[in-house]
Amino acid sequence: MIEPPVQPSLPPTGSAPRRRTVVIDPVTRVEGHGKVTILLDEHNEVAEARLHIVEFRGFERFVLGRPYWEMPVIVQRLCGICPVSHHLAAAKAMDRIVGGEQLTPTAEKIRRLMHYGQIFQSHALHFFHLASPDLLFGTDGTATSAFGAPAPQRNVLAVAAKFPELARQGVMMRKFGQEVIEATAGKRIHGTGAVPGGVNKDLSLAERDALLTSVPPMIEWARRAVQIARDFTIGHLVELLPFGSFDSSHLSLVRPGDGALDLYDGVLRAVDKDGRRLLDDVDGQLYLDVLAEEVRPWSYMKFPFLKALGPEKGWYRVGPLARLNTCAFVPTPEAEAARREFLALTHGRPNNVTMCYHWARMIELLHAIEVIRNLLDDPDLQGDDLVVRGPRREEAVGVVEAPRGTLIHHYRVNRTDEVTLCNLIVATTHNNEPMNRAVAKVARDHLAGRAEISEGLLNHIEVAIRAYDPCLSCATHALGRMALRVELYDCAGRLCATAERA
């Protein structure tokens, strides 16, 4: 929607603070709306740092009383960025409700194609549009890290101006992923392809051939993206290793039996910072036996944890970094070779470097296009056996690995087909505690002890958050303008100064 421009607010006058809070509101170049507050004491040391989610989602309430078959279509309205993930997680739950969880080969492969198209476009969008400005430009001479470029450079248009071919490849990869989704789901955004027990269309030969013609450049560009992320990481190791980093556990789905990376289906596996198993391939239907969520009064986003370890020690990370740490291997050759090189950085042990999310994400980008290429060659995609049914159930859970991590949908349905319970744990929610820790780590390492905090330093906080590619609109419901607002408070809570960029 077109709105009148907002004028930047002028800093009000006030006495010099002895203790102050720095607020970044909203965080930019992430999906959705969140803010960061950092409380500095009288010595400018970090007393507290938090990522707040300030919008309320409420979807778990919206859907109550609606018929179950609407769920795959309704819940994807959570998000315009990765609706396919919600579409498929809900559809997988509804498969079980209708007793159709053993999909036909055509239905499962169509869904997988849809899902890996989603992974491909989402990872490309994040890396080239949102993250690359932090990675491609050098410092402004005053910053203390590899991504302290001047603010006017930190956007996709600056990338396009300086690296037009790279930006063009990012656009075309995003577009290709959207085309895969449209061919399998019917629409690029909010499609209807997955239905309880299967899918409502196959892939025509014309659709397949149109997609196949684009595959070779996509593979080449994905290889190049892995190289860019790898080279950036290796080239800035000294700065990146500690940046927002900390030891953590990791959680994802893996393929049952061999532990391969599988983004569409599998069992829950968690490992600790050293790779020891914390969850040993648990059926997603039993997630409530192993996971719990803590509520904290200052955020609408919950804090999940492993029940066996409790909220203090049971938190973990999800997403590309976690997935490469939990899986035994990547079941496509080029991405597996890239994973081996990735893990060599940490001598085969789990990688706990926050900024390595970008490298891991690009390895998954390469994996996704390898999977898409293999699927497009499979004649099952042109099958006509699309839907199955079996004994009806009243309760079911659907789990997928969304681009940002593990996505859990849990429903109960009564005998008159109405949804009576809905619980959603989205990827960004799993990463709530890690993102808060990353914010605190960067604040302590880069902001503490400084009397003046520049905009470039505040971007360091956002860089750490962006590594997780959080989707705050999924984690909650998002309304709002994407801008940066900084507020300084004294120790009595009085607002001393504000600054805002539109």
Site residues for another protein per CB under 8 A: 1-4, 28-29, 31, 77, 80-81, 125, 128-130, 154-158, 160-161, 164, 167-168, 170-172, 174-175, 178, 188-190, 482-483, 501-502
Measured from the CB of residue 79, what is the shortest distance to another protein in angstroms? 10
Segments in 192-330 forming alpha helices (H): 205-212, 215-235, 237-240, 287-290, 310-313, 320-326
Least gap, CB of 218 to another protein (angstroms): 14
**Element housing 316 (H / E):** strand 316-317
Nearer to another protein, 64 or 288 (CB): 64
Structure tokens at 169: 């490849």
User: In whole angstroms, what separates CA 218 from the centre of its chain?
Assistant: 22
Nearest to 89 by CA among 77, 78, 102, 76: 76
* Residue that has been written with the tokens 């900084």 in this structure: 486
Q: How far is the CB of 62 from another protein (least distance, A)?
A: 8
Torsion region of 414: left, alpha or beta (phi above 0 gives left; psi -120 to 50 gives alpha): beta
- Least Å distance between CB 124 and another protein? 9
Compute φ and ψ for 292, nearest 5 degrees.
-140, 165
CB of 116 to another protein, least distance (A): 18
The number of residues in the chain equals 502
Which of 178, 163, 70, 53 minimizes the C-alpha distance to 419? Answer: 70
Packing angle between helix 105-124 and helix 164-185, nearest 10 degrees?
Answer: 150
Q: Name the residue nearer to another protein (CB basis): 49 or 125.
A: 125
Choose among 484, 438, 422, 490: nearest CA to 458: 484
- Residue 77 or 223: the one with the smaller Cβ distance to another protein is 77
DSSP per residue over 448-500, as a string? TT-SS--HHHHHHHHHHHHTT--BHHHHS---S---EEEEEE-TTS-EEEEEE
Instruction: Name the residue nearer to another protein (CB basis): 28 or 429.
Output: 28
Q: Which two tokens stand for residue 448?
A: 């503490």
Q: Which is nearer to another protein, 30 or 439 (CB)?
A: 30
- Closer by beta carbon to another protein, 173 or else 400: 173
Number of C-alpha atoms within 13 angstroms, CB side, residue 493? 0
CB closer to another protein, 179 vs 293: 179
Nearer of residues 189 and 388 to another protein, judged by Cβ: 189
126 vs 410 by CB, closer to another protein: 126
Q: How far is the CB of 429 from another protein (least distance, A)?
A: 19
CB of 262 to another protein, least distance (A): 27
Q: Smallest distance from the beta carbon of 32 to another protein, in angstroms? A: 9
User: In the complex, what is the shortest distance from the CB of residue 101 to another protein, in angstroms, rounded to a whole number?
Assistant: 30
For 84: left if phi > 0, alpha if psi spans -120 to 50, otherwise beta; the answer is: alpha
